[in-house]
Every structure is written in structure tokens, then in C-alpha cells.
């Protein structure tokens, strides 16, 4: 097991803090770190894709689990696979897809781990049908504060606290996932433009139940009658191609290099943001960003149906491009993701109008539609609309502005995503998450010494 002292940030590259990082190769090594932890505790970390500070632990220990990355043999008959928490979703997809199997929920990047997907209880673009990631976990192995490994099953209080619990109930070491079957590695994709937010919501509501996956990019720089205009992308799994009997086995994975290069507008669907080519830092200002968004909107088809697209490009389009941090400057980026319930569309309208009026250079903004809430005490997804956007952290007055948006979202009964957060106030989090009191009680009972801590847990009093 390697050990070093490092400065760590989230993917947004804000608020770096220093911790001792351990890289275990076995469960026993991970347990030894938990048993020998110092007074500042320990938190698990995967590939560092959380935009905020959920996987940082200033002055304490961080368990880097990327060395725990075994994938067991999938059971196609039962539709399950067992894997370590450090396995990336990208690698899991490469292993499972040739067998006609798909991970249960596919978010907008493959560069995150199974453990991180459970600890964040990530939703995907088909949440209305499939729910979030942890809903499809049939068992998980959890390293608890006493240094023991427990098998935790759905329907228990510990499972509900761990799903979306951001690593604060223990270290997720492995999980058994229920899978879905697919007939090919192609998606059938439909795209349409909407001239304003009302039209976009109407198109979303009218057509998205016909296809399981749906997401929309919103132009948050547009104002006036075009406020909230966007591009709606929907998709479904394409049926297996019809081939002569002598042609051999149907190819489930595209050939090497297939789907690479520039994708057709409006870009592949993603869970958190749509794919964008890297932009130079000179485009950080509101004027160039508005021009870029306008070109992207006008370059999309008014309506197109049945476009074939490789599955990996459809879900993980952003992974084909270099990291976009140069766009946001040295201060990094703030990802702001919130959800408000059905019937609270006017709140969504007001937030979009406020962002557009402020002329913040927002080029990544993705709208999803969520279904039934997941059982996790701190799970983010709830029935309603979810908007995720990235903004430069160095924008003047950004903290005060987002505090005001927080208040508006909370007043509408909505919530901000904890897994993406880097700046919310503790009283706001308590108002948004009614399960927080129960979560705290369970943590106090199972971990009275506070073995598991993070910068986020201290900041929000989780």
C-alpha cells in the first residue's frame, strides 16, 4: 500500500486541502487504515470526479480506492455482476457490453467509480423509468468504523443512509449490481429545437415517455423571448441488426475509432452536461459565450429522428474531449445542480431568467426530468425538473447570487445536489433534506467517534 501527503480538490478545482492519501490493494489494507485513523478521520475517494469537496479531508486521511478494481464474472441468466468499488463505469461498460449487458444506470461520464456512483446515488437520463444508481444494487460490502466489513442489503437503514451518503457511513468496498440487457451498441437518437423554456418543457413532457433517455441543453445566455431556448435529445436502444445466419455473431461494440471525432449537433446526451469541444480561455466572457451558445443552438436540427449513434458516445460524449478547466480560469468551476417539483415550473423559469439577466458565461446547462424519489436519506433525485450548470468560480458575487438561488429553490420545496456542492450553507442543506436528521442519528449511533469525515461533512454539519 502506497502512502503520500497530497493537496486534493474536487473536479471543480476549488478549495484545495491537504491530506494523507492511502492507496490500498486489498480490503485488509483498507481496514487497517480505518482502524489506525487519526483524529481528523478518513474518507473514501475514487477518480476525483465530484465537483465539490465531498472526497477531501483536510488534515486527515483519504482512501484512494482505484487500486480495488476487480470485476467478477457477470451472470447473464441472473443479470448481475459483482465488482469492487474502485472499478470505473467506463471499464465496466467495456466488459459488459460485449455480453449484451449494461450497467443499471449510466450517468454522463464513465470516469467515475462504482463506489462513487453509489455514494452519490447518481441519477441518469432515464431516471423516470430506472431511478438512481443505488436502486439497482442488490448488496454492498461496507467497511464500517470498527474496521469490520459488513454485507449491507437494500431495505435496511444502513443501506438507505449509505446510498447517497457521500462516504460518511463507511467505505464502500464492493457491490453486486443488477444489469439490463441490450441488443446492440447503438442508440437511436432524436433531436429537436425549442424556441423558449415553455416550449422546451412542453416538448419534454409530451414526447419523452416514448423513449427512455431524455436530456436537454439550455442556452442560459439567451434573453427576451428566447429565454430558456434549448435542444432536446432523446434516445432508445437500437434493436440488433438483422444479418444473414452465416455472417457470424452480431457486433455489440463499435470498431476501434468508431464514433470518435466530431459528433453531430447538438452533441451526445449526458447526465450532467452535454459534450463540448475544448474552448480557449478567451471565450470566458459573456459576449463570446453568448455567440458560442447561439451558434450551437442554430446549428442543431429543428427536428431529426432515428439517428444512429454509438452507445458510448451517446452517454459519455464529454469523455472524448480534454478536461474543460481552461475555460473557467485558475479559480476553477462551480457546478450548481438543483431540482424542483412538478407544479413548481415558475421557480425554474425565475432561476433561468435570473441567470440569463446576470450574463454569467454559462455554456454547460442540462435539464433532466426525474421520477419517483429514491430511498436514500440524502439522495438528490426527486420527482420534478433538474437543472445542472457550470460557472467560473471567480465570477464576482457568485456566492451571494447562488445563495439567493438556494433560497428560491428551498422555498419551492426543491434541493441542491450535495454530491456536486462546494459552497452551500449548512442551514440551507438542512432545509432541503428532510432525511438529514435521521442520517445524523444513524451516524452518531454507528460511528460515535466520527471515523468518517470530509471537508463537505464539516462544512454542512452532516
- Taking only the tens place, the pLDDT of each residue in 275-303 is 444 444 445 688 888 998 999 999 999 99
pLDDT band of residue 387 (cuts 50, 70, 90) is: very high
Residue 145 has pLDDT above 50, yes or no: yes
Residue that is written with C-alpha cell 481552461 in the block: 326
Instruction: Inform me whether the pLDDT recorded for 272 exceeds 50.
Output: no
From residue 258, give the alpha-carbon distance in Å to each of 69, 145, 264, 313, 354.
27, 46, 14, 9, 41
Query: What ranges in 108-173 are assigned the alpha helix state H?
Result: 114-120, 127-130, 157-162
Q: Which of 12-16, 262-266, 405-409 has the lowest mean pLDDT?
A: 262-266
Per-chain mean pLDDT for the chain: 89
pTM higher than the cut 0.85: yes
- Per-residue pLDDT reduced to its tens digit, 148-177: 999 999 999 999 999 999 999 999 999 999
Q: Check residue 326 and give its pLDDT.
A: 63
pLDDT interval class at 208 (50, 70, 90): low
- For residue 83, what are the β-bridge partners? 71, 175
pLDDT of 363? 87
| C-alpha span between 316 and 254 (Å, rounded) | 14
Question: pLDDT band at residue 338, thresholds of 50, 70 and 90?
Answer: very high
Q: What is the mean pLDDT of residues 133-140?
A: 97
Cβ-count burial 205-226 (b if 16+ within 10 Å, e if not) = eeebeebbbbbbbbbbbbeeeb
Q: Are 37 and 17 in contact (CB under 8 A)?
A: no
What span, in angstroms and rounded, lies between the C-alpha atoms of 95 and 116?
A: 19
Mean pLDDT of 401-405: 97
Residue 255: pLDDT over 50: no
Q: Which pLDDT score, from 0 to 100, does residue 122 have?
A: 96
Cα atoms in the Cβ-side hemisphere of radius 13 Å centred on 279: 20
pLDDT at 248 over 50: no
Highest mean pLDDT among 16-25, 97-106, 202-211: 16-25
Residue 329 has pLDDT above 70, yes or no: yes
What pLDDT score does 154 carry?
A: 97
With H, G, I as helix, E, B as strand and everything else as coil, classify residue 187.
strand
- Please state whether 421 falls in left (phi above 0), alpha (psi between -120 and 50) or beta: beta
Confidence of residue 340 (pLDDT cuts 50, 70, 90): very high
- pLDDT of 196 reads 97
Helix (H) or strand (E) holding 16: none
What confidence tier does 321 reach under pLDDT thresholds 50, 70, 90? confident
178 backbone dihedrals φ, ψ, rounded to 5° = -85, 135
pLDDT at 382 over 70: yes
Q: What is the pLDDT of residues 430-449, one digit of tens each?
A: 999 999 999 999 999 999 99
pLDDT score for 269: 38
Residue 24 has pLDDT above 50, yes or no: yes
Candidate from 78-87, 100-109, 247-256, 353-362 with smallest mean pLDDT: 247-256
Q: Mean pLDDT throughout 218-237?
A: 96
Predicted local confidence at residue 50, as pLDDT: 92
109 φ, ψ to 5°?
-145, 145
Q: Tell me the average pLDDT across 247-261.
A: 41
**Residue-level pLDDT at 249:** 42
* Strand order, beta sheet including 333-340: 303-310, 186-194, 230-237, 213-218, 365-370, 384-392, 333-340, 415-416
**What does the block give as the cell for 451?**
471515523
Amino acid at each position: 500500500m502506497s502512502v503520500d501527503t497530497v493537496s486534493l480538490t474536487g473536479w471543480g478545482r476549488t478549495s484545495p486541502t491537504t491530506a494523507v492519501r492511502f492507496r490500498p490493494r486489498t480490503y485488509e489494507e483498507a481496514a487497517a487504515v480505518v482502524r489506525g485513523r487519526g483524529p481528523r478521520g478518513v474518507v473514501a475517494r475514487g477518480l476525483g470526479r465530484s465537483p465539490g469537496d465531498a472526497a477531501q479531508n483536510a488534515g486527515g486521511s483519504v482512501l484512494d480506492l482505484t487500486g480495488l478494481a476487480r470485476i467478477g464474472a457477470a451472470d447473464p441468466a441472473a443479470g448481475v455482476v459483482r465488482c469492487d468499488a474502485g472499478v470505473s463505469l467506463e471499464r465496466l461498460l467495456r466488459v459488459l457490453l460485449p455480453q449484451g449487458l449494461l450497467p443499471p444506470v449510466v450517468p454522463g461520464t464513465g470516469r467515475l467509480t462504482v463506489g462513487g456512483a453509489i455514494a452519490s446515488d447518481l441519477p441518469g437520463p432515464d431516471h423516470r423509468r430506472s431511478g438512481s444508481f443505488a436502486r439497482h444494487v442488490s448488496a454492498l460490502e461496507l467497511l464500517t468504523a470498527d474496521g469490520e466489513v459488513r454485507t449491507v442489503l437494500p431495505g435496511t437503514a444502513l443501506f438507505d443512509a449509505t446510498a447517497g451518503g457521500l462516504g460518511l457511513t463507511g467505505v464502500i468496498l464492493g457491490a453486486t449490481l443488477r444489469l439490463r440487457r441490450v441488443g446492440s451498441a447503438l442508440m437511436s437518437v432524436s433531436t429537436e429545437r425549442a424556441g423558449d423554456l415553455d416550449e422546451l418543457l412542453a416538448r419534454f413532457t409530451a414526447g419523452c415517455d416514448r423513449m427512455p433517455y431524455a436530456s436537454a441543453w439550455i442556452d442560459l445566455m439567451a434573453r427576451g423571448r428566447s429565454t430558456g431556448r434549448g435542444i432536446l435529445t432523446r434516445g432508445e436502444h437500437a434493436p440488433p441488426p438483422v444479418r444473414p445466419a452465416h455472417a457470424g455473431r452480431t457486433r455489440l461494440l463499435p470498431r476501434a475509432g468508431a464514433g470518435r471525432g466530431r459528433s453531430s449537433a447538438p452533441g451526445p446526451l449526458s447526465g450532467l452536461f452535454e459534450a463540448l469541444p475544448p474552448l480557449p480561455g478567451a471565450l470566458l466572457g459573456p459576449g463570446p459565450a453568448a455567440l458560442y451558445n447561439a451558434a450551437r443552438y442554430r446549428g442543431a436540427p429543428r427536428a431529426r429522428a432515428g439517428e444512429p449513434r454509438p452507445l458510448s458516445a451517446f452517454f459519455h460524449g464529454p469523455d472524448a474531449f480534454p478536461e474543460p478547466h481552461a475555460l473557467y480560469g485558475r479559480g476553477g468551476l462551480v457546478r450548481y445542480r438543483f431540482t424542483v417539483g412538478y407544479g413548481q415550473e415558475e421557480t425554474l423559469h425565475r432561476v433561468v431568467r435570473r441567470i440569463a439577466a446576470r450574463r454569467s458565461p454559462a455554456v454547460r446547462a442540462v435539464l433532466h426530468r426525474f421520477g419517483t424519489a429514491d430511498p436514500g436519506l440524502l439522495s438528490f433525485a426527486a420527482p420534478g425538473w433538474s437543472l445542472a450548470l457550470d460557472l467560473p468560480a471567480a465570477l464576482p458575487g457568485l456566492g451571494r447570487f447562488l445563495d439567493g438561488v438556494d433560497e428560491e429553490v428551498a422555498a419551492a420545496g426543491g434541493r441542491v445536489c450535495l454530491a456536486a456542492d462546494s459552497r452551500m450553507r449548512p442551514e440551507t442543506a438542512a432545509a432541503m433534506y428532510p432525511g438529514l436528521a435521521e442520517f445524523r442519528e444513524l451516524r452518531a449511533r454507528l460511528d460515535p467517534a466520527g471515523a468518517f469525515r470530509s471537508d463537505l461533512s464539516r462544512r454542512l454539519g452532516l
